[in-house]
Amino acid sequence: MKTRTHVLVLMAVLVAIGTATAGTLWFPAGLAKAYPMQHAINVLAGVFLSPAQALTVAFAIALLRNLLGLGTLMAFPGSMVGALLAGLAFHWSDGKLVAALAGEVIGTGILGALLSVPIVRFVLGQEAAIFFFIPPFVISSGAGALLGGALALALNRVGIASSFLESQR
């Protein structure tokens, strides 16, 4: 049985991992850098937690990354929408992992990228084309979603994920 304590501990562990690995794994994605660990955490949170809890984890990571100087304001819309859609897609599809992966890529890669444009324009005072962020966000979220999916499958293979998911239903 999953208790509130189990959920809070899992949320804290995901926030800690997401914050600690924020700048460790990256690769060039066009003019930007792709940081796929946030997206992997979004998928794991979407699969193992409720959509609202996944959103909370993404917000906490984005806040900590910004407070520690490891992220930008674009971490908020990208990660939060991606985590929410990963969780919603996973739950609406009755537990299909591929739905969580698609939710993360659509949420972060497209919707989060589009939501970043007003932040850049009105908060940071810079001009950005409306589709400027989509390619790097899609590349980063796609790589991270695949990594998160692989981690979820690995956790399922060793028996950790299946017991947790059964307690969720």
Domain that holds residue 156: 37-168
Q: What pTM value is reported for the model?
A: 0.89
Each residue of 100-115: pLDDT tens digit?
999 999 999 999 988 8
| All residues at 6 or more sequence positions from 129 whose CB lies less than 8 Å from its CB, including other chains | none
| Position 142 in a domain | yes
| Position 163 in a domain | yes
**Number of structural domains in the chain:** 1
| Position 74 in a domain | yes
Each residue of 108-155: pLDDT tens digit?
999 998 888 887 777 666 666 667 778 888 999 999 999 999 999 999
Site of tokens 């001009």: 127
| Position 16 in a domain | no
| Position 137 in a domain | yes
| Position 104 in a domain | yes
| Position 23 in a domain | no
| Position 5 in a domain | no
